[in-house]
């Protein structure tokens, strides 16, 4: 239009042709139509790429050759080619974020803009087309045979000679597992848990619409106990009915430890692809939870939309130490099986944040802001809210075949601080681990904290020579205290929490803490203590638990938790928790197995008792572990 403007002193060129005003307009109209036609025709020629190069930026024009295997139309798509283009681009960015890939508009040295469902990040980059060439990954194949031949012991052991009593006890526990499974199958198959009194299923709201928590949690226990038919029933449900396309609020932690953990383990045990594929698909659905300013994930995620948020009860939108600190083992294996480093990167970043931040007295508080990366409240506990974070530090070291020295150091430093500030001895001589609230001790130990006997024993091996025996003794003392919490109850099952105040020792002092929901932590410690010391008292204590479970928790249609461990006429809570099959029965069973069944040389149990293999082959795909 600028060219057609009349220049001062010069006649306009339509005027020079001697045309009148209406004719001038007609002429201009004709001329602009002609130009548009010629320009458009360039793109209709058989080989238009030469001309495109003249008019389009070089990289976009080179689409056919520079963007291998992507659909040609999308590759050569000019910016804003159609009204649908921005939407398609936004979808691509969202998909990239879901897969954890950097958005295409991230330039080298520029700040990474993460797609953040729920935080408005997705739309921010829609103007800049993803013109950078996409990287093609060679298809990754995990070498199952190689992994399997790297195991030092047959998964189910060699089955040497054993005492008939040990065998009989093990078979009794197997019978309990079959009873728990059969009733779940009969009354609640496909639901998350069995309600054994009302004989129906429970779904709950912890798994964001996922179903079959008991099935996925039980798979490896069924396999290990050689309940072949039951294992096939569980497997075929996973193949045919396990739907991952769900919407709803899921706990990132629970989905990871039960579902991802259960699926990973079953893949490693069986080599059946379906378990690996489901684990990877589910793992990817968890990734948007990490899209926070610090990379510390939020606790709750919608598996459909990828929106994530913090628990309403967690102070000031914080994330929970035991939740974001209990992803490491599973996520390393997701990388190992997929070849995709993103999973490892996410958890290594959590570690980086934790290493950077100052710890009060060397302790890790339970609440951290995923926005600022600062502690939100100074509550420290080795029980609920903190527990499995410490467990995963030492297990990361073990799972790395003792190469991950950073994890070992973090564990040792944390344990030293815990011992200095939280470990106490009661007047009656019981060692316990108190909780810490801004410097003030709460002389209470939760059932959950009783896993620590096993953990400390497991970690003793790597301690300095002069401390090994000290840690084994500490582990034995804590396990003894937890046993006392069972022995001092009328049912011989332990309460949810027990205290060392008001003249009480190892007993619940509040009505609200007297329940037992089939939790595993005490028998978990018995199992480790047995394997590491072979002191027969641990098998004895485990057998006491079996008898108590049979007497007070077994009902007509399964096992149920009880509301008060101090009364022998039990009031059942009508819930057979999935961890009863995943953990409690598995640890009891292993307590009466030889040491080479799921040998601790080959396997590390995740916090839901799903064994994951030790990295004897030196994980190839790990991203940033030194
Ligand atoms: C299980 O889901 C896991 O052991 C978790 O680490 C803590 N709580 C339950 C069992 O009590």
Residue 32: which pLDDT band, with cuts at 50, 70 and 90? low
Q: Average pLDDT, stretch 253-277?
A: 98
Span 538-570, pLDDT tens digits = 999 999 999 999 999 999 999 999 999 999 999
Nearest alpha-carbon partner for 609 in 99, 257, 260: 257
Cα 326 to ligand 1 centroid, rounded to whole Å: 11
Q: Is 608 in the pocket of ligand 1 (CB under 6 A)?
A: yes
Q: Is 265 in the pocket of ligand 1 (CB under 6 A)?
A: no
Mutate to test the pocket of ligand 1, among 448, 575, 585, 586 (most ligand atoms within 8 A of CB): 448
Q: State which H helix or E strand residue 498 sits in.
A: strand 497-499
Distance from C-alpha of 91 to C-alpha of 99, rounded to nearest angstrom: 12
Residue nearest to atom 8 of ligand 1 (CA): 448
Q: What is the structure's pLDDT at 47?
A: 33
> What average pLDDT is seen over the chain?
84
Tell me whether strands 300-302 and 249-251 are parallel, antiparallel or unpaired: antiparallel
Q: What is the structure's pLDDT at 161?
A: 72
Look up the pTM and report it.
0.80
Nearest alpha-carbon partner for 354 in 383, 396, 313: 396
For residues 365 and 378, the answer to whether their CB atoms sit within 8 Å is yes
**Over 70: is that where the pLDDT of 361 sits?**
yes
Distance from C-alpha of 557 to C-alpha of 167, rounded to nearest angstrom: 26
Q: Average pLDDT, stretch 464-472?
A: 96
Cα 582 to ligand 1 centroid, rounded to whole Å: 10
Distance from C-alpha of 244 to C-alpha of 302, rounded to nearest angstrom: 12
Q: Is 521 a catalytic residue?
A: yes
Q: What is the structure's pLDDT at 21?
A: 54
Residue nearest to atom 10 of ligand 1 (CA): 519
Span 593-613, pLDDT tens digits = 999 999 999 999 999 999 999
Q: Is 333 in the pocket of ligand 1 (CB under 6 A)?
A: no
Radius of gyration of the chain (CA): 31
Distance from C-alpha of 126 to C-alpha of 144, rounded to nearest angstrom: 41
Nearest alpha-carbon partner for 231 in 278, 170, 174: 174
Q: What is the structure's pLDDT at 345?
A: 98
Cα 50 to ligand 1 centroid, rounded to whole Å: 64
Q: Average pLDDT, stretch 287-295?
A: 98
**Over 70: is that where the pLDDT of 470 sits?**
yes
Ligand 1 atom closest to the CA of 391, numbered from 1: 6
Ligand 1 atom closest to the CA of 578, numbered from 1: 2
Q: What is the structure's pLDDT at 618?
A: 79
Structure token digits, residue 507: 């007993």
Cα-Cα-Cα-Cα torsion 271, 277, 280, 283, nearest 10 degrees, comes to -110
Domain 150-613 CATH assignment equals 1.50.10.10: yes
Structure token digits, residue 358: 């100052």
For residues 317 and 372, the answer to whether their CB atoms sit within 8 Å is no
Share of residues in the chain with pLDDT > 70 (%): 77
Q: Average pLDDT, stretch 511-524?
A: 98
**Over 90: is that where the pLDDT of 122 sits?**
no
Q: Average pLDDT, stretch 387-415?
A: 98
Ligand 1 atom closest to the CA of 384, numbered from 1: 7
State phi, psi for 380 to the nearest 5 degrees. -120, 135
Among candidate residues 387, 391, 477, 573, the one labeled active-site is 387
Ligand 1 atom closest to the CA of 322, numbered from 1: 6
DSSP track, 25-49: HHHHHHHHHHHHHHHHHHHHSSS-H
- Note the Cα 34 to chain centre separation in Å: 63
Cα 123 to ligand 1 centroid, rounded to whole Å: 39
Q: Is 330 in the pocket of ligand 1 (CB under 6 A)?
A: no
SS3 600: coil
Instruction: Give the best-scoring range by mean pLDDT among 78-82, 134-138, 196-200.
Output: 196-200
Q: Average pLDDT, stretch 35-62?
A: 38
Q: Average pLDDT, stretch 22-29?
A: 63
Nearest alpha-carbon partner for 284 in 306, 254, 300, 264: 306
Q: What is the structure's pLDDT at 25?
A: 60
Q: Is 484 in the pocket of ligand 1 (CB under 6 A)?
A: no
Distance from C-alpha of 358 to C-alpha of 252, rounded to nearest angstrom: 26
Span 62-121, pLDDT tens digits = 322 222 222 222 222 222 233 333 333 333 333 333 333 322 222 222 222 233 343 333
**For residue 587, how many C-alpha atoms fall within 13 Å in the half-sphere facing its CB?**
32
Ligand 1 atom closest to the CA of 448, numbered from 1: 11
Span 312-324, pLDDT tens digits = 999 889 999 999 9
Overall size of the chain counted in residues: 626
Under 8 Å CB-to-CB from 250, ≥6 apart: which residues? 206, 207, 208, 209, 210, 300, 301, 302, 303
Q: Say if residue 607 carries a ligand binding annotation.
A: yes
Lowest-pLDDT range, 10-24, 116-130, 170-184?
116-130
Nearest alpha-carbon partner for 442 in 513, 372, 389: 513
Among candidate residues 220, 284, 477, 496, the one labeled active-site is 496
Span 171-196, pLDDT tens digits = 999 999 999 999 999 999 999 999 99
Q: Is 579 in the pocket of ligand 1 (CB under 6 A)?
A: yes
Cα 315 to ligand 1 centroid, rounded to whole Å: 22
Cα 337 to ligand 1 centroid, rounded to whole Å: 25
Q: Average pLDDT, stretch 324-333?
A: 98
Q: What is the structure's pLDDT at 135?
A: 57
Q: Is 233 a catalytic residue?
A: no
For residues 302 and 113, the answer to whether their CB atoms sit within 8 Å is no
Structure token digits, residue 35: 């130009």
**Over 70: is that where the pLDDT of 36 sits?**
no
Nearest alpha-carbon partner for 497 in 418, 547, 565, 427: 565
Q: What is the structure's pLDDT at 115?
A: 30
């Amino acid at each position: 239009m600028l060219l057609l403007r009349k220049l001062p002193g010069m006649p306009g060129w339509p005027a020079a042709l001697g045309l009148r005003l209406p004719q001038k307009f007609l002429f201009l109209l004709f001329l602009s139509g002609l130009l548009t036609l010629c320009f458009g025709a360039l793109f209709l020629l058989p080989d238009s790429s030469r001309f495109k190069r003249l008019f389009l930026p070089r990289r976009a024009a080179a689409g056919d050759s520079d963007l291998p295997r992507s659909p040609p139309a999308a590759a050569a798509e000019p910016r804003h080619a159609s009204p649908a283009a921005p939407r398609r681009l936004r979808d691509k960015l969202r998909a990239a974020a879901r897969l954890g890939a950097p958005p295409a508009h991230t330039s080298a040295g520029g700040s990474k803009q993460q797609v953040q469902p729920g935080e408005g990040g997705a739309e921010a980059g829609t103007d800049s087309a993803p013109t950078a060439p996409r990287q093609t990954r060679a298809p990754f194949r995990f070498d199952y045979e190689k992994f399997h031949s790297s195991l030092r012991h047959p998964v189910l052991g060699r089955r040497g000679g054993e005492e008939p009593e040990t065998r009989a006890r093990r078979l009794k526990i197997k019978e309990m597992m079959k009873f728990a499974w059969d009733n779940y199958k009969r009354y609640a198959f496909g639901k998350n848990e069995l309600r054994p009194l009302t004989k129906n299923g429970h779904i709950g709201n912890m798994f964001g619409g996922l179903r079959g928590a008991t099935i996925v949690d039980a798979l490896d226990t069924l396999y290990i106990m050689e309940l072949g038919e039951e294992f096939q029933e569980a497997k075929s449900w996973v193949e045919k009915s396990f739907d991952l396309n769900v919407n709803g609020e899921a706990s990132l932690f629970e989905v990871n430890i039960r579902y991802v953990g259960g699926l990973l383990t079953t893949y490693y045990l069986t080599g059946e692809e379906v378990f690996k594929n489901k684990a990877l698909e589910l793992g990817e659905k968890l990734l948007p939870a990490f899209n926070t300013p610090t990379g510390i994930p939020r606790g709750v995620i919608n598996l459909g939309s990828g929106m994530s948020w913090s628990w309403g009860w967690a102070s000031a939108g914080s994330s929970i130490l035991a939740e974001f600190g209990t992803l490491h083992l599973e996520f390393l294996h997701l990388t190992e099986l997929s070849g995709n480093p993103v999973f490892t990167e996410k958890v290594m970043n959590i570690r980086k944040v934790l290493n950077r931040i100052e710890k009060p007295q060397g302790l890790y508080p339970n609440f951290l802001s995923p926005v600022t990366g600062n502690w939100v409240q100074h509550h420290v506990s080795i029980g609920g809210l903190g527990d499995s974070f410490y467990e995963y530090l030492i297990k990361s070291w073990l799972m790395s075949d003792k190469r991950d020295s950073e994890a070992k150091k973090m564990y040792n430093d944390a344990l030293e601080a815990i011992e200095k500030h939280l470990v106490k001895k009661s007047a009656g001589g019981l060692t316990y681990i108190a909780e810490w609230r801004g410097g003030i001790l709460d002389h209470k130990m939760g059932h959950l904290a009783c896993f620590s006997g096993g953990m400390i024993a497991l970690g003793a091996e790597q301690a300095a020579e002069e401390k090994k025996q000290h840690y084994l003794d500490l582990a034995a003392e804590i396990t003894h205290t937890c046993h006392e919490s069972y022995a001092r109850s009328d049912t011989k099952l332990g309460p949810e929490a027990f205290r060392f105040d008001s003249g009480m020792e190892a007993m619940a002092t509040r009505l609200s803490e007297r329940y037992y929901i089939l939790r595993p932590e005490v028998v978990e410690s018995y199992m480790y203590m047995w394997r590491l010391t072979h002191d027969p008292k641990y098998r004895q204590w485990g057998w006491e638990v079996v008898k108590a479970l049979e007497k007070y928790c077994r009902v007509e249609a399964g096992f149920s938790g009880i509301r008060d461990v101090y009364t022998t006429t039990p009031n059942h809570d009508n819930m057979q928790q999935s961890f009863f099959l995943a953990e409690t029965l598995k640890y009891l069973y292993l307590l009466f197995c030889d040491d080479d069944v799921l040998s601790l040389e080959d396997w590390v149990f995740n916090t839901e008792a799903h064994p994951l293999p030790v990295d004897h082959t030196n994980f190839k795909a790990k991203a940033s572990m030194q």
